[in-house]
Amino acid sequence: MGKWEFPKEFVFIGNIPLTDQERNWRSSTFSETWSYVGYDVYDEWRYIHDREALEKEIEEQEQKDMIIDEDNKKHKDVKLMNNSDFWKLMSLIHSTRQIKEGIQLLITELAKLKVKEIKLFEETLSFKLYLLDTKEHACNIGEHSFREEKPNTFSVDLFLYARCAAVSKGEKIYNEILDIPKLMPKNEFLEELLDVASEAYEEKKGKEFIFNTTYDKETFSNKEGWS
């Protein structure tokens, strides 16, 4: 159980000592933090004294929940490449001394696969890039990091290329970066990763690769990550 802290809006006025019988009671109701204890009373007070602000907060939260629900629905329905197969392919990028050679190896291997599998690779890559599309990750890419005080100097393209570099690091490092944004590669970019599926398809079929992924990899697509 997490530590129970009083909400900042509450004023502590004391407590009533437990009886011997009450001390022996056990509760299995809560398994996490008691974050919302007493908020029903507080919300009732705000409904009377601060109704306009409360209703605005509720509306904003409902909009955020709708976005999250839509993302969850898409995630449930989307078909991705087998995780181990995806990362095995991705490991080819750093299997040689030159990144360009590694990228070409990846394209060559992808071109050997069925068209369906090439699409699954692209779908999986877009999804993993989408997950990294958060403000916290954008604030940790080095010289070109996102800054609240200078949002207009932030490059959405460079952040996308930085996320590509993060994915190219492999499963273990990617998962660590996903959990700890400060571990994002600094001043590293890998734009070439964005074209491997299309180049593999063109090599295989001799025509342009036209495929729309479920998740958009472009910067700011992850609404929850930037909320």
At 214 the pLDDT is 94
Q: How confident is the model at residue 129 (pLDDT cuts 50, 70, 90)?
A: very high
Closest CA to 214 of 71, 42, 17: 71
The pLDDT value given to residue 194: 98
pLDDT band of residue 39 (cuts 50, 70, 90) is low
- Position 221 scores a pLDDT of 96
161 three-class SS: helix
Residue 89 pLDDT greater than 50, yes or no: yes
Q: Do residues 208 and 125 lie in contact, with contact meaning Cβ atoms separated by under 8 Å?
A: no
107-125: average pLDDT: 97
